[in-house]
Chain A
Amino acid sequence: MTLGTNETEPEPKPESEPDHKLEFDDGRPNIEQERSWYDTLAKGVAHVILIAASAIMTIPFIWAFLTSLKPENKIFTTIKQIIPANPTFANYVNVWLQNPLDRWVLNSLVLAVGVVFFTLVLDTLAGYALAKGDFRGKSIVYTLVIGTLVIPPQVVLVPLYLEMNAVNWSNTYWAIMVLYIANPFGTFMMRQFFLGIPDSLIEAARMDGCSIFQIYTRIMLPLAKPALASLGVFTFIFVWGAFLWPLVILNDSAMYPLQVGIGLLTGRYSSQWGQLLAAVILAALPVISAYLLAQRTFMEGIALTGGKG
């Protein structure tokens, strides 16, 4: 993961350890040379605090998972007994059978994959033009990007809702996707990334007769792989968690993304917590597993976007 391996160094050092190992070696000179009882004490205290913080962050998930394994009629009577006596997946089966969960998951997947695809294509193109292009109106376009970054998305929801109704797009995947594809964040991020690619590389390619588009496919895109991965993962999580806009634009529950579906279950399931928690765990699983698999990319992505400051 990034945090440990000091990714801010310009030259990447050869990767010897696989990601998921817990060993930690920063590779930078150890400046804390004082080895004293004070040092040991400080480290001990730090470990205690970090273990407590980790527990606070993970216990709600673990507890929700364990509770979802209890039979519905036992949840309230066994509330003090954290670990279920006879774990069962009945809640998962029931909530899946009683709701179009498979359809909701599919909706979420279509939306997330679609938005990620269009975001990556359009934002790398626009970011490339803004970083390396030479055309009239470039500064206007850049102002547009920065300007729309500041607009809270809620501000445009009413007119966009009317607009989507006017073109008969309400209740379509497209209507949901366009708002997220239009998000200027990726354009800004890709521009910042491409600015860092030396002009000399591009000029060399031009000497070899590459067109603007060939430079994009042969130089810019291959170099941008880490940035693309971060932007893709971020966008996926962002769309997977989308709630307000789909809630506003959809009126057919078969079209709901998973988050809206389970968000609206609360009223109906006020007494069936086992099934509700099962649905919640199902909704969280894809991103949590994606996160655990791609931890490194995640942290890099945040460092890339936040660290730029």
Chain B
Amino acid sequence: MAQSHGLERVRQRLGGYLPSASVGSDTNLSWYAIVLPKVILFAVILLIPFIGAFYISLHKWAPLAQSHPFVGLDNYVRLFNDPVFWDAIINTAGYSMALLVFDVPIALGLALLLNMNLRGTKFYSAAIFLPVVTSWVVVSLIWSWLYNPEYGLINAALGTIGLPQLSWLQSSSTALASIALMSIWKHVGFNMVIFLAGLKGIPDDLYEAAIVDGASRWQRFRYVTLPLLKPTSFFVIVVTLIFSFRVYTQVYVMTQGGPVRSTYTIVYYFWQTGFQQFEMGYASAIAVVLFLIVFGLSIFQQRTWGDDVGY
């Protein structure tokens, strides 16, 4: 670049006098003016409410009550003895595991196929990514129609090829799995694109060298692709886990937690206690536990990933 060339000459004349890491050490105040609006927002909208959540969780807190008595850890004790909360934890964990076990490998498989650079790759990736850009409310409504036991397209298709038909969202044994299945359909394109970005980042000469060494297709995948894809895989796994723990909208739209609590999730239960029953202290305790779970997962991410963690 011409500009940096000229600067190099200036730098030589000044004898390396220029600071290299940053600009404008003399105008500190300007930096504060630039960064402060966002910092104030962080503080007022995220940080103070975050601390507030801990505080409220130690109280019996109804929004319109005159006083909010301090109850210590009572909300947490109640939480641990609350079968509905444990149902919610188990359901959320099950949902997350389903996404990990199916979503991630399918996304990797699709990315590998798209990386073959076949004709029509643009069309394929556009189609597979389509559900990602559509909102959860929209896909939840479309799928609750697809899942309809009498009129839905899925049972009609199963019936045509002679397979048994299911009651999907109406049965407590299949409702959560049905929501997970739809979520995989909605989300798989996102992970696929991240995997694809990872695959494109593997230098060609590594494959060329492997071919020269006589490595078979499988060996190239096993000894070049997989190891170099490790950071991307960790990213995909952890982000999928973190976001699947926040599952809410699908449940609200498709099943309202039912049938018989089989689709209660942590965030759905949080919303119900906080904004339906207005037990905000108890809801905050649920939120704090959710935070601890997600925080634990993030620590795991940092451990496995080292210092320069993306997100």
Chain A residues within 8 Å of B, Cβ to Cβ? 1, 3-4, 6-8, 22-24, 26, 28-29, 31, 33, 42-43, 46-47, 49-51, 53-54, 56-61, 63-64, 67, 76, 79-80, 122-123, 125-126, 128-130, 132-136, 138, 141, 144-146, 148-163, 165, 178-179, 181-182, 184-185, 187-188, 192, 198-204, 206-207, 211-213, 215-216, 237, 240-241, 243-244, 248, 259-260, 262-263, 266, 273, 276-277, 280, 283-284, 287-288, 290-292, 295, 298-299, 302-303, 305-309
Contacts and interface: CB of A to CB of B under 8 A. Distances in A.
B142 A144 contact: no
B53 to A, nearest CB: 5
A129 B22 CA distance: 10
B165 interface: no
A45 to B, nearest CB: 9
The 7 closest A-B pairs by CB, nearest first: A159-B52, A241-B135, A159-B49, A54-B127, A306-B194, A182-B45, A126-B38
Interface SS of chain A: helix
Given A46-B116, A240-B135, A129 B31 contact: yes
Given A156-B49, A200-B7, A212-B24, A28 B204 contact: yes
Given A152-B294, A306-B194, A307-B198, A56 B185 contact: yes
B38 A203 contact: no
A261 to B, nearest CB: 9
B73 interface: no
Given A134-B24, A159-B56, A212-B23, A306 B137 contact: no
B168 interface: no
Contacts of B288: 155
Contacts of B37: 122, 125-126
A134 B156 contact: no
A196 to B, nearest CB: 13
B71 interface: no
Given A130-B35, A243-B136, A4 B121 contact: yes
Interface string B115-131: 01111111111111111
B21 interface: yes
A192 B131 CA distance: 28
B272 to A, nearest CB: 12
Contacts of A79: 151, 156
B207 A159 contact: no
Interface stretch (B93-101, B171-179, B279-287): B279-287
A81 B123 CA distance: 27
28 contacts: A3-B122, A8-B197, A29-B208, A31-B208, A43-B118, A50-B110, A50-B114, A129-B34, A132-B23, A133-B34, A152-B290, A154-B267, A156-B53, A160-B49, A162-B280, A163-B44, A163-B52, A182-B42, A184-B42, A185-B311, A200-B3, A200-B8, A213-B30, A259-B135, A259-B137, A277-B141, A283-B135, A291-B133
B142 A277 contact: yes
A126 B23 contact: no
A148 B156 contact: no
Contact of A155 (B20, B236, B291, B309): B291
A202 B19 CA distance: 11
B25 interface: yes
Contacts of B27: 211-212
A170 B147 CA distance: 37
Contacts of A26: 117
Given A64-B142, A133-B35, A155-B291, 18 more contacts: A24-B117, A60-B142, A133-B24, A141-B39, A144-B42, A152-B287, A156-B53, A159-B284, A201-B4, A212-B34, A241-B135, A259-B138, A263-B141, A283-B138, A287-B135, A291-B133, A306-B236, A309-B232
A46 to B, nearest CB: 5
Contacts of B137: 241, 243, 259-260, 262-263, 283
A209 to B, nearest CB: 12
A201 B133 contact: no
A60 B135 contact: no
Nearest to A277: B145
B46 A298 contact: no
Nearest to A24: B121
Interface in B141-184: 141-146, 151, 153, 156
A303 B298 contact: no
A242 to B, nearest CB: 8
B211 interface: yes
Contacts of A179: 45
A148 B47 contact: yes
A83 to B, nearest CB: 13
B307 to A, nearest CB: 11
B97 to A, nearest CB: 19
Contacts of A307: 194, 197-198, 201, 232
